[in-house]
Structure 1
Amino acid sequence: MNKATTGGWEPCYRSSAEFKETGNFEKELKVAHEMIERSRRALAMLESAEPRVKRNRLSLQFYQWAARMVYHKSRLLIAWGLIDQAQKEKAQQLLQSLLDEILVLRDQMGRLFGQIMVPEEVEREQMLRFEGEQEEIKRLLSYLYRNPPHPDEAE
Structure 2
Amino acid sequence: MNENNIIYPDLVEHSYQIMKSQGVQITKAKLYKKLVKSGMLDKYGQPTQMALDEGLVDTYTRLDDGTYQPKSLETFKQDNPMYADYADNHFTWIDGKGWAVDEYVIRAEANDIINDPNSTQEQRQTAYDMLKYASHED
TM over 0.5: no
TM-score, normalised on structure 2? 0.30
Structure having the higher strand fraction is 2
Q: RCO (CA 8 Å, sep 6+): is it higher in 1 or 2?
A: 1
TM-score, normalised on structure 1? 0.27
Structure having the higher helix fraction is 1
